[in-house]
Amino acid sequence: MFFELTEEQLAVQEAAREFAQKELKPGVIERDSKQEYPTEQVRKMGELGFLGMMVSPEYGGGGMDTMSYVLAMEEISKVDNSCSVIMSVNNSLVCWGIETYGTEAQKAKYLPKLATGEWIGAFCLSEPEAGSDATMQRTTAVDMGDHYVLNGTKNWITNGGTSKLHLVMAQTDPEKGHRGINCFIVETDSEGVAIGAKEDKLGIRSSDTHTIMYTDVKVPKENRIGEDGFGFKFAMKTLSGGRIGIAAQALGIAGGAYELALNYSREREAFGKAISKHQAIAFKLADMATEIEAAKLMVYRSAWLKDNKMDYDMASSMAKMYASEVAMRHTVEAVQVHGGYGFVKEYHVERLMRDAKITQIYEGTSEIQRVVISRNILKGQLYLPIFRDSMQEQGV
């Protein structure tokens, strides 16, 4: 399958690349070192429409397709993954979840603020004892008639300290198991919402990751998303789309590291010639380019499936798993190409290597993606549904 980008998509890609190089790259090393939240950079992302790319224009968004979002994520992730993860959560999880499954009142109230960056959102699923196993929610929401009372703890929450709105998964009927889980829109200035200390992370250090505590928080009945018991399905559907964003982030990390390694190898000389002329380095570059191109096709394909309203669950898991492994593998190689210079912050590749690791963990670890993929395989799901449909039309 060949993906020929439209003029609009190419314009989005160029705008994101220019923004990343001119607005994000200056100061990115200092922000990472100081764990400084990119307040001004996030504000500008909102102004440029990067925080509500797929939101309908009637709610203040860009009304763009998933492919355009992936292209922007890729370019921004080549430079600053703290900014791209903020962008990913706000777009893929919060805005998309509310617009796809929320009521008209919920969309009208919250999406204009989220799409423009006036508010930043957070997706609150993980708990101290319910990370990969999302069915084991200890956070509870007790139905009090016209409102719910929310109690519990969520951890590893991206945008936890700066968000104005949380999408919180909570158990309302333990006897029903995962069918008793609901999702609630919680405004963070509600009484009983407490923000824990910022996590000191290996990578994406200037994004804010916190533990959130909810103590007797009153949530209006109208802030529940979907019918009673819809929360687990909401989380799984939203995360499936979110994996496309994280796959694009991983792709950007790998691509950014490759570009840095390629440029450095052309400038650095050893034994009388540029190191790119030495076979040991040239072969590394060839392997990097090949695997990044393969990852790109997988990521773009998952976005294409989503845009064409086809089943993308397995494709997004494959793209996320493979792209994150490529990012980890080739950021290490980029450091190696740089030699000793790769080990210092000035050359950016050590930061990309640290950032790459998280793409193998959040939105479900690589092991979880293998569970999703294998389950689809065992159910008879073919990897190429468009080919499958063509075969069925021909009676094969």
Task: pLDDT band for 2, please (50, 70, 90 cuts).
Answer: low
pLDDT given at position 350: 98
261 located within any domain: yes
pLDDT given at position 390: 41
pLDDT given at position 188: 98
163 and 37 co-located in one domain: no
Q: Is the pLDDT of residue 201 over 60?
A: yes
Q: What is the pLDDT of residues 304-340, one digit of tens each?
A: 999 999 999 999 999 999 999 999 999 999 999 999 9
385 located within any domain: no
Q: What is the pLDDT of residues 222-265, one digit of tens each?
A: 999 999 999 999 999 999 999 999 999 999 999 999 999 999 99
Q: What is the pLDDT of residues 345-382, one digit of tens each?
A: 999 999 999 999 999 998 878 888 999 899 888 887 65
78 located within any domain: yes
Domain CATH code at residue 45? 1.10.540.10
130 and 104 co-located in one domain: no
* More confident: 383 or 369: 369
Domain CATH code at residue 217? 2.40.110.10
d(CA 134, CA 340): 42
Q: What is the pLDDT of residues 90-147, one digit of tens each?
A: 999 999 999 999 999 999 999 999 999 999 999 999 998 876 677 889 999 999 999 9
Q: What is the pLDDT of residues 15-34, one digit of tens each?
A: 999 999 999 999 999 999 99
The DSSP code sequence of 312-331 is: -HHHHHHHHHHHHHHHHHHH
pLDDT given at position 396: 36
256 and 282 co-located in one domain: yes
d(CA 61, CA 213): 31
83 located within any domain: yes
390 located within any domain: no
243 and 343 co-located in one domain: yes
Domain termination residue (choose one: 178, 208, 231): 231
DSSP state of 366: H
The answer to whether residue 291 is catalytic is no
pLDDT given at position 26: 97
- In a 10 Å sphere around its CB, with 0-12 CB exposed, 13-18 middle and 19+ buried, how is residue 196 labelled? middle
67 and 152 co-located in one domain: no
Cβ atoms < 10 Å from Cβ of 43: 13
pLDDT given at position 381: 63
31 and 75 co-located in one domain: yes
391 located within any domain: no
214 and 265 co-located in one domain: no
208 and 274 co-located in one domain: no
196 and 159 co-located in one domain: yes
Distance, C-alpha 269 to centroid of its chain: 38
Domain count, the chain: 3
76 and 184 co-located in one domain: no
Residues β-bridged to residue 130: 127
Average pLDDT over residues 262-277: 97
389 located within any domain: no
28 and 46 co-located in one domain: yes
pTM of the model: 0.94
Residue 140's nearest CA partner among 101, 112, 170 is 170
Looking at 129, 269, 363, 393, which residue is catalytic?
363
Residue 219: give the domain boundaries: 122-231
Domain termination residue (choose one: 163, 196, 231): 231
Average pLDDT of the chain is 94
47 and 25 co-located in one domain: yes
pLDDT given at position 146: 94
Tokens standing for residue 210: 């916190």
Q: Is the pLDDT of residue 41 over 80?
A: yes
- In a 10 Å sphere around its CB, with 0-12 CB exposed, 13-18 middle and 19+ buried, how is residue 157 labelled? buried
Domain CATH code at residue 258? 1.20.140.10
Domain termination residue (choose one: 216, 231, 246): 231
Q: Please give the angle made by the CA atoms of 338, 339 and 340, to the nearest 5 degrees.
A: 115
15 located within any domain: yes
d(CA 229, CA 135): 12
Q: Is the pLDDT of residue 393 over 60?
A: no
